[in-house]
Amino acid sequence: MTTVEPTTSYPLSSRNRVKRRHDRGFYDHATVHKLLDASMLCHVSYVIDGQPYCTPTFFWREGKTLYWHGSSASRMLKNQSADQRVCLTVAHLDSLVLARCGFNHSADYRAVMAFGSAYLVTDPDEKERALVAMVDRFFPDRTASLRQSTTQEIKATSVIAMEIEEASAKIRSKGVADDDEDYELPIYAERIPVRTVLGAPEPCPRLRDGVERPASLHGYSEGRLLEDALADAYFLQYPGS
């Protein structure tokens, strides 16, 4: 009996191969997915009449499928029955790197570029499921406590999906890296960490008496890294991923 090795990396092509500083490139599912699942904000690029657009929006992952909602759907997918080529990018900025020469100034970062064809989720059941996931992926089980969506609201929201055909992660995490001889120079160099953190939650001033913050939101606490809260929430909602 032969077993088939599961494919654990995205295939390499001229599109996703990290060309410059290829030592920083990763293609395995684990690295790519971990970065995606620690993110909320992505930038989606698409083309209309030869003009590229780059739209920031929220997204989430299920398996090798990325979903986002349609702030730009009207423009992006209007009058397009065919699939639309897309690049979805996520970037975490981790530090500013001040070196001893201009050329070695840099940053520590973690970024993912994912390529595929986008399509509107039109099946009603699948769309309703995705609209629940769009909230619960970030705030586990929250939808169950909310006022139900109206037909009108579901109609007014577009859900867009894309199977990841190719993806790459690019990571730099080494701080100051100067040319050997430059370390002898009397020049100041440093790494300045950058972190995206949560502030103290601000309850809506119009809460009804006795309505408390649910325990499911405890991961979103003051001072936490946004990416840690997102990764924890993701694991709660998709424990198998």
211 contacts a second copy (rule: CB under 8 A)? yes
Q: According to CB under 8 A, which residues from 44 to 73 bind a second copy? A: 44-47, 50-56, 58, 71-72
Say which residue the tokens 């997102």 belong to.
230
Nearest distance in Å: CB 107, a second copy: 7
Contacting a second copy (CB under 8 A), which of 191, 232, 235, 236?
191
In 10 A of CB 161, how many CB atoms? 19
Binding residues for a second copy, rule CB under 8 A, total 97
Burial class (CB in 10 A: 0-12, 13-18, 19+), 140: buried
* Residue 83 CA from chain centroid, whole number: 21
Piece in contact with a second copy (CB under 8 A), picked from 1-9, 27-35, 60-68, 186-194: 186-194
- Tokens describing residue 93: 């900025």
12 contacts a second copy (rule: CB under 8 A)? no
142 contacts a second copy (rule: CB under 8 A)? yes
Contact between 77 and 118 under an 8 Å Cβ cutoff? The reply is yes
Q: Rounded to an integer, what distance in angstroms lies between the CA atom of residue 77 and that of residue 120?
A: 7
Q: According to CB under 8 A, which residues from 212 to 231 bind a second copy? A: 212-214, 217, 220, 226
Contacting a second copy (CB under 8 A), which of 93, 232, 235, 238?
93
Piece in contact with a second copy (CB under 8 A), picked from 4-12, 14-22, 26-34, 60-68: 14-22
Q: Rounded to an integer, what distance in angstroms lies between the CA atom of residue 234 and that of residue 39?
A: 10
Q: Rounded to an integer, what distance in angstroms lies between the CA atom of residue 45 and that of residue 89?
A: 8
Q: According to CB under 8 A, which residues from 15 to 34 bind a second copy? A: 15, 19-20
Partners of 159 in the β-ladder: 69
Q: According to CB under 8 A, which residues from 106 to 125 bind a second copy? A: 107, 109, 111, 113, 115
Q: Rounded to an integer, what distance in angstroms lies between the CA atom of residue 153 and that of residue 155?
A: 5
144 contacts a second copy (rule: CB under 8 A)? no
Q: Rounded to an integer, what distance in angstroms lies between the CA atom of residue 206 and that of residue 109?
A: 40
Contacting a second copy (CB under 8 A), which of 22, 75, 174, 218?
75
